Structure 1
Amino acid sequence: MTSFRNWGVMADWTKPYQTYDPSYVTQQLQAFFSLYEKGYIFQDYKPVYWSPSNRTALAEAELEYDKSHESWSVFVAFQLSSIPDTISSNLPKDARAGVLVWTTTPWTLPANQAVCYSPKHEYCVVQSETSGRCFLVACDVVDNMQHHLKQGLRVLKKFPGAVLKDVTYHHPLHPEREQRLIEGDHVTMEKGTGLVHSAPNHGLEDYQNALKHNMPLDECLVDENGCFTAGAGKELSGHDVLGSGSFVVMKLLEDRIEHVGKYTHSYPYDWRSKKPIIIRSSRQWFINLDKLRTRAVECLEGVKITPETARSMFVNQLKQRPHWCISRQRYWGVPIPVLFRDSTALTSRKFVDHVCNLILQEGSDVWWTAPMDKVVTPEIRNDLKLGPDEKIEKGSDIMDIWLDSGLSWKMVLPESKQADIYLEGGDQIRGWFQSSLITSVALQNQAPYKHIFLHGFTLDSEGRKMSKSLGNVIDPHTVMNGGRDPKLEPAYGIDVLRWWVASHASDNENVTVAQHIFSECHTSVSKLRNTLRFCLGALQDFSREMHLCCYEDLLPLDQFMLHLLYNFHLKVTSQYEALQYNHVCSQMLNFVVNEASSLYFQAVKDRLYCDASNSLTRRSCQTVLSHTLDVLARLTAPVLPHLCEEVFLHHPERKCAQAGVFRQKWPPLPNEWDQKHFEELREPLWKVRDAVNKVTSSSNSKQHDIIISARENAQQYNLLHKLQVEDVATHSGLTDILQVASARFTTSPKAPPAISNTGNDTVLLDEGTGLQVQVLPTTFALCDRCRRHISHAVGQLCKRCDEALEEHRLSLHAC
């Protein structure tokens, strides 16, 4: 929590929820029993993801996939024991025929219980031109089989897949066991032989298909350590199935194996140990999703998802998710509150309430440490219909951590209240987002959230995902406070880190983290800081109460700036509401660089520094700078809170006030600031500015006069005229923006002739309206006070400066 506070994360840190708090644990136990009471929770013996390295069951969300994992690729033939005449009629006499299957888990072959086929496809008998052996395979895969086996295959007989229902074969390691071929919807022709080795104890699809065919599970031959049990036979007992066990199986089957190789593919690993997992059957607790999937998908329809493209992935994962295994075999966690009489699980509301009271008094470890007679009192024995001397045991399983976190809504939110937003990485579609949705739908028939936001992940400069194991993680503390070498790892402070998060890491995509990116972010924050600092500096003698001008009294340029500020506020507010923080940052930079600093600040510096201190012209631009500072600080505060608090601390009117920026309301702006004609003014104004800059690129624009001409009533001409009411002026919004000595407007009945802008001081901007700008050396002299070429004689002050100094003298005299 200290880090979150340092990072400026706003929350009630005095009341955080923590999943290990007794109050949280008891809420979770009560939720477990409610789910059990509603019929959602059941115990069963079925295949689950299993981590041999941690000796526990895992959920799909606890898996990572290694795309470069290597497995054994084995083609093995199971000897046929009986085949219908429609198949055997074309077999050579005394032919050795077998069912050819392909597997990348040879350690599961001892657990084989069936071979699956597709009744929709055609199959055939082929004979090896090398060994003379005959095999059953799908017709669609014969060409691929010849490539993989590196031998020619001659097709002897073709027949429909349905014929295979009468075929049986001998178990590969126990020939006395006769097993049959069964239909399987999961059989495809993309890889393998079109016939699938089925080990229901080690495959989720195999298990589902076995249930469909009323096939009971054999004893699981793999223990919790991932080693073969004694039931697998003395040759295999004790061997690691992912290591030596696979070699031993292949050795035992060498006379039946047609080809062995290596196969690189994506394979699941335990997210904690970073070691490969297996699938094995064990007795576990599950949430029955058959009763929840449809309703969960319906509830998700009312949830906003950012980005919306993630919705289909979420829905598909919900629809395809198997029953949720919620039990784990670990030494620390929230216990599953059940007792066992032999293999029968016992629990009740009264028992769970009693356990909750013990936990609130002594902590969650009481389940493991308290004697049985404390956990199971005579009253509880009576409630569970147990005799006083009947032997029972406490369950040793704990709950899945995704059930821990998936019930956080129950701890945090008032009854039936939905969270405004859940925010996490995209991987939480199969994690927290999904576990929260399932538990909430089961317990309160609604989604726990109105909106979920998926952020991306950090990558290093080489595009690799950051992880501790790779040693490529950049610590936020280093970004804030600097590393060992300040030149290589300078201290950027918290606001630069927050700006990086908002501008780079909040648009749902993975983002690269590198020092040069933080340097760019530092530059961006500096531009914002300088803009705010300029406003503060310009307002040291300004009081809103005494000097604020009403909108009608503002100069046209100042009204134009308020229009830009209004539009900026509108766009940023909309982007905040849409959680488009990267666009917020782009909009802020565009505003401070192109509209505030380059355009308006540059234009009003002359007025600020040289006009009479209390003149309307100066107070007009100070009014706009005051509005700009106020709006910009409040809009920037969610991203750069420390900078904006600093602004309020130094604000000439707020530095004595107790309230900071976050105690202010989101700034509502007057509609009168939104003047559409100013929006239309942008295009001709930028055209004129570009033309002036082009002509004066090798000289100082302040030493030039301009003449703007067009046909009478030309729209663009009239729009430009709004920035300068007079036909000729040395002080106007237009001269300030263009940074010229004076500007003159003229009209003519006809459009002026088109003049080439190459090497000429006249530029035609619009042939249709005849709008053109002429740039000429000014006839005015330099004013020694304001440094503008607007004086009528060399060595003489301009009229404006004369009046400003006179006002200053009078004010000194009055004092």
Structure 2
Amino acid sequence: MTDTPEKVDYSSTLYLPQTDFPMRAGLPTKEPETVARWQQMGLYKKLRASAAGREKFVLHDGPPYANGNIHIGHALNKILKDVITRSFQMRGFDSNYVPGWDCHGLPIEWKIEEKYREKGKNKDEVPVNEFRQECRDFAAGWIKIQAEEFKRLGIEGDFDNPYTTMNFHAEARIAGELLKIAKSGQLYRGSKPVMWSVVERTALAEAEVEYADVESDAIWVKFPIVEWKHHVATHAGPLESDQLMPVMKEVADLEGASVVIWTTTPWTIPGNRGIAFSSRYPYGLYEVESAQNDFGPQPGEKLIFATRLADESAAKAKLTFKFLRDIAPEELEAVVCAHPLASLGYDFKVPLLDGDHVTDDAGTGFVHTAPGHGREDFDAWTAAARALEARGISSKIPFTVDDAGFYTADAPGFDGARVMDDNGKKGDANERVIKALIAASNLFARGRIKHSYPHSWRSKKPVIFRNTPQWFVYMDKELGDGTTLRSRSLNAIDETRFVPAAGQNRLRAMIEGRPDWVLSRQRAWGVPIAVFADEKGEVLIDEAVNARILEAFEQEGADAWFAEGAKERFLGNDHDPAKWTQVMDILDVWFDSGSTHTFTLEDRPDLKWPADVYLEGSDQHRGWFHSSLLESAATRGRAPYNAVITHGFTMDEKGEKMSKSKGNVVSPQDVMKESGADILRLWVMTTDYWEDQRLGKTIIQTNIDAYRKLRNTVRWMLGTLAHDTGEEIAYADMPELEKLMLHRLSELDAVVREGYDAFDFKKIARSLIDFSNVELSAFYFDVRKDALYCDAPSSLKRRASLAVIRKLFECLVTWLAPMLPFTTEEAWLSLKPDAVSVHLEQFPVVPAEWRNDALEAKWEKIRAVRSVVTGALEIERREKRIGASLEAAPVVHIDDPELLAALEGQDFAEICITSAITLVAGEGPANAFRLQDVAKVSVEPQLAEGRKCARSWRITTDVGADPDYPDVSARDAAALREIGFRRAA
């Protein structure tokens, strides 16, 4: 009878992973503890101290508005900024992040007014500086709340000393920038149509509006022709009377005719002063033959249309036309019409103007021109003003609508009519104008049209275009050096790096086409336009006055402008207060944020000017990027940034805009509470942030799954490195597989550094996640587990593997630290409990000798053959012919000399995680397993021969070869002897 060796528990002899780093992350609980630790230890100050003397890298923070809790857009934005700042800090720069807040402007003022209205108080009855203090307190409260929310996201920065636009120094600097612009002659008072919020009672900039579809009244209106010029052809000799008569007859048919315009804003008809046409398109004279309408043209009436639009216009009025003749551009230039409401007091001439903005793709080919209600109308009218005055036509622009949307005395016949009410609802102006046109027999047709229309992004209510006196900055005034603000800005755009590149063309197009910059707002909470103007609108330029203003702002804030006696205080004894008006408008809040580079980048010694990077959402091409460019170009001749990065907007999983009404809003607070900030950060890192992104429960779960796999990879490394002695192994002594892993680190080092430079975080995250899952967990770690767990302490293979895993850990954790700051901090301190923080580390320097492309090519062949073996064994497991791959000893047939040569000298059984393997040159049998993707390789599955080692579980023929260890293989017996393990007697 054969003696069976007594079973022995060898688990204590194995170098199995040991770590306190938990599999379950518990991020919602652990992350706040880490934030508290960072604050307690003063991590921000340690980062600054460690980077002292290094080259500065500055990402200037675009200020969020201090009004409400942060939303998912804030989270995306701040995470991107944090990753950039951290990545440069860990690559040898002094990368300091200073958060900032926009504090002035309408949203906060509106909130305070709402409180007043609830209490029945009138804002105008409260002293202005008392009201401004309430606004200041409101903003300060939200800054504290948002700062804590940003820190919870893992954002590291100078939260103890942020910048705010309501800081006294900031207000002084903002006012100082305005005074620089005034001194250079770029500031002027003018009267132009601007976007006006009736609800909010203030002018708005393009950056303060959003567009939404609305349904509007559309009307076609007749303007009776009252003057036209005889068009006589030029001939070499005198004309005979019979030649002259046909020409006279031809032009006489304009008598009694009308020009027809089309508009979607009937309320602007009282402001009409001209009609635009285009000499690029053909026009024709038409006569009505039949009509089926209640108020429109009747048979015999003659009307002029663009040829292409005549039939479409006739259909609108249910008419049939007869074409009479073509109308030449020279004739149209000479035409003068009567206003369609002349009987109500609009008894002035309405000339026709040739305009480049006229198209023939909609309407009638004639554009109703109300210079007080549209930029193109204004430009066309003012460009023709001198010529019009020469013809005896007044070029004066009326003010037909007041700040509350009511008609003024410049709109006779419509007393009490209102364009829009205080709630943004349509008033009665449209209907009253339409009825008046019908009464005057000048309405051609009416209808409804759905189109995109500007709305205030704060109140979400429609705006109107309204001519008001405002303060502007010239875009095209020559500035004494051969440049204009427009040319300076365009040149700066050419010198700026844009990520993605399409942002450059977008911003360029906006600057090329933008009108003069309107700076003034008719509100109370903000930095005032701190200038004095005479009755002509000329600004007082006096350095002593300016110095007094700025000194007061520095000490008391902008409230000093509104204090009693401010006018006399600032003018001093050198100027008569009676001759100067103190401007009480405040600056557009975009001027505030556009000036932040002055009191942060220029004034803080821990920063620098210009910034390396500005990063915001793509809407900021018309917002912060835009205003910062204009302000800096006006005062410094260039942009305050070297690069502009833009991100898209976050939609729900269906690609729809998030809204509370739809119930599809994903809040960062909820994600952090349920899953953790690192999950949210991983989503940002794996999404294509340059475009619009999607987020919802399924996408969050996908990132949770990816995070778990990544965490488990880190956890296994930590457990394995519990047995690491820190020994360094010379590269030359490394086994090939370890050299292959070092080569992959060399390749990844380039990917990581280039990715961070290109702000392409998705490429980095995808590369590191795939490397961890595919090349480490599913290959290298799997192959080396046997040697790491079972080899003797002196084994070079085991020692080299530990040294490489140490390098893998250090590289992966530091590379990921900017992206996943909480998890990497936990992992780093788990391995290095005496360390301060992973965020004080630098990315490891990867030696050039690690790069080995030839070795990678060789191992691509090895892994290709391995994939065939793995595929064959998978079938064996599925068919339950084997349990684990160590039960197998496959025969591998290789009919490719290159593949066979690659396997020479390799322990291919270890690589395939089998107990044995046989390599045979040549074509295998027909029934052998093959993969279509790997030619000339086939596998015959076979069971391993021998006994199962009680320690390593490999099946070998040498189990029991060592009598002192009868139940283990020779390799394991030698390891047990080396570590001094003895079986019980």
TM-score w.r.t. length of structure 2? 0.75
Q: 500, 508, 514: which one pairs with 1:307?
A: 500
Contact 2:267 2:419 in 1 (8 A): no
2:550 aligned partner: 356
1:410 maps to 598
Q: Distance in 2 between matches of 1:764 and 1:314?
A: 51
Which SS does the other structure have where 2:363 is aligned?
coil
Deviates more, 1:149-158 or 1:528-537: 149-158
Structure-2 change in CA distance of 1:94 and 1:397 (3 Å): closer
Distance 1:306 1:398 in 2: 34
What is the CA deviation profile of residues 483-532 of structure 1, one whole-angstrom value per residue up to 9, with x for unaligned ones?
xxxxxxxx10111111111112x531111120111111111111111111
Return the match for 1:121 from 281, 296, 299: 281
Deviation at 1:706, TM superposition (A): 4.0
Match of 1:509 in 2: 691
Partner of 1:413: helix, strand, or coil?
helix
Aligned to 2:716, which of 503, 520, 534?
A: 534
Deviation readout 1:737-759 (Å, 9 max, x if unpaired): 31112234455xxxx34654xx4
| Contact kept? 2:614, 2:643, Cα under 8 Å | yes
Task: Quote the residue 1:247 is aligned against.
Answer: 431
Which residue does 1:97 correspond to in 2?
Answer: 257
* Distance change >3 Å, CA 492–CA 356, structure 1 → 2: same
User: Which of 452, 472, 483 matches 1:286?
Assistant: 472
- Return 184-193 or 137-146, whichever deviates more: 137-146
Q: Assess if the C-alpha contact under 8 Å between 1:340 and 1:395 holds in 2.
A: yes
Task: Report the residue type matching 2:972 in the other structure.
Answer: C
AA aligned to 2:543 is R
Contact 1:355 1:375 in 2 (8 A): no
CA contact (8 A) 1:780 1:790 kept: yes
Cα deviation per residue 1:555-601 (whole Å; 9 max; x = unaligned)?
22222222222222221222121111112211121011101100011
- Report how far residue 466 of structure 1 moved: 2.6
Counterparts of 2:336 and 2:308, CA distance in 1: 22
Aligned match of 1:698 in 857, 869, 876? 876
The aligned residue for residue 225 of structure 1 is 404
1:132-151 per-position Cα deviation (integer Å, ceiling 9, x unaligned)? 12111111212322333332
Which AA in structure 2 matches 1:106? P
Shift of 1:717: 2.4
Q: Match of 2:277, as an amino acid?
A: Y
1:332–1:562 CA distance, 2 compared to 1 (3 A):
same
Query: Which one of the candidate residues 432, 451, 458 is aligned to 2:624?
Result: 432
Q: Which 10-residue stretch deviates more, 159-168 or 401-410? A: 159-168
Contact map agreement 2:258 2:303 (CA 8 A) in 1: yes
**AA matched with 1:702:** L
Give the counterpart letter for 2:586 in structure 1: I
CA deviation after TM superposition for structure 1 residue 763, in Å: 7.4
Aligned to 1:741: 915
Which residue does the alignment assign to 1:76? 221
Q: Is the 8 A contact 1:791 1:797 kept in 2?
A: no
Deviations 1:96-133 (CA, angstroms, capped at 9, x unpaired) = 42111101111111111111111232211111222212
Asked whether the equivalents of residues 236 and 249 of structure 1 are also in contact (C-alpha less than 8 Å), the reply is no
Match of 1:715 in 2: 898
The C-alpha deviation readout for 1:222-274, integer Å capped at 9, x for no partner, is: 00011111331243434235420010000000121121110111100111111
User: In the TM superposition, what is the alpha-carbon distance from 1:159 to its structure 2 partner?
Assistant: 2.4
In the alignment, structure 1 residue 386 sits paired with structure 2 residue 568: no
1:729: which partner in 2? Answer: none
Q: In structure 1, which of residues 172, 178, 181 is the aligned counterpart of residue 352 of structure 2?
A: 181
Residues 4-43 of structure 1 mapped to structure 2, 5 A cutoff: 4-43=150-189
Q: Quote the residue 2:339 is aligned against.
A: 171
Residues 1:538 and 1:218: Cα distance change in structure 2 (over 3 Å): same
- Counterpart contact for 2:928–2:939, Cα < 8 Å: no
In the TM superposition, 1:258-657 aligns within 5 A as 258-290=444-476, 291-342=484-535, 344-347=537-540, 348-368=542-562, 370-372=563-565, 374-377=566-569, 380-383=571-574, 385-386=575-576, 390=578, 392-414=580-602, 417-467=609-659, 472-481=664-673, 491-504=674-687, 507-544=689-726, 547-651=727-831, 654-657=832-835
The 8 Å contact of residues 755 and 763 in structure 1, kept in 2 or not, is answered as: no
Structure 1 SS opposite 2:286: strand
Which residue is equivalent to 2:980?
809
Aligned pairs (5 A) from 1:185-204? 185-204=356-375
Q: Give me the whole-angstrom Cα distance separating, in 2, the residues matched to 1:398 and 1:279.
A: 20
Match for residue 486 of structure 1?
none
Whether 1:106 and 2:266 are equivalent positions in the alignment is: yes
Shift of residue 399, structure 1, vs aligned partner: 0.3
Structure 1: segments with no counterpart, 5+ residues? 482-490, 725-731
Deviations 1:70-103 (A, max 9, x none): 1111011011112345698469989842111101
SS of aligned partner of 1:47: strand
Q: Distance in 2 between matches of 1:124 and 1:357?
A: 66
Are 1:789 and 2:955 counterparts? yes
Distance (Å, rounded) in 1 between the aligned partners of 2:698 and 2:722: 37
- 1:727 is aligned to none
Assess if the C-alpha contact under 8 Å between 1:783 and 1:791 holds in 2.
no
Instruction: Name which structure has the greater RCO, CA cutoff 8 Å, separation 6+.
Output: 2
Shift of 1:433: 0.6
Q: 1: CA distance between counterparts of 2:414 and 2:339?
A: 17
Structure 2 distance, partners of 1:141, 1:94, is 19
The aligned counterpart of 1:207 is 378
User: Structure 1: which amino acid aligns with 2:912?
Assistant: L
Q: Provide the rounded CA distance (Å) in 1 between the counterparts of 2:493 and 2:716.
A: 49
Instruction: Report the alpha carbon displacement of residue 212 of structure 1 after superposing the two structures with TM.
Output: 1.2
Rounded Cα–Cα distance in structure 1 between residues aligned with 2:534 and 2:594: 30
SS at match of 2:602: coil
In 2, Cα distance between equivalents of 1:629 and 1:120: 70
Q: Write the distance in 1 (CA, Å) between the matches of 2:799 and 2:978.
A: 15
TM-aligned CA deviation for residue 69 of structure 1: 0.8
Amino acid across the alignment from 2:404? N
**Equivalents in 1 of 2:959, 2:843: separation in Å?**
51
List runs of 5+ in structure 2 lacking aligned partners.
1-146, 232-246, 292-297, 389-394, 421-425, 477-483, 878-883, 961-965
Decide whether aligned partners of structure 1 residues 765 and 41 sit closer, same or farther in structure 2, where only a CA change above 3 A counts.
closer
Secondary structure of the residue aligned to 2:337 is strand
Provide the rounded CA distance (Å) in 1 between the counterparts of 2:383 and 2:787: 86
Structure 1 partner of 2:324: 156
| Cα deviation 1:366-411 (Å, max 9, x = unaligned) | 222x112x4423x73434x326xx3654322000111100111111
Output the aligned Cα RMSD: 2.5
Cα pair 2:893 2:924 within 8 Å, conserved = no
Question: Residues 635 and 174 (structure 1 numbering): CA distance in 2 closer, same or farther, change over 3 Å?
Answer: same
* Alpha-carbon shift at residue 772 of structure 1 (Å): 5.5
Paired residues, number: 773
Rounded to whole Å, the distance in 2 between the matches of 1:100 and 1:282 is 28
Provide the C-alpha distance between the structure 2 equivalents of 1:22 and 1:631, rounded to a whole number of angstroms.
45
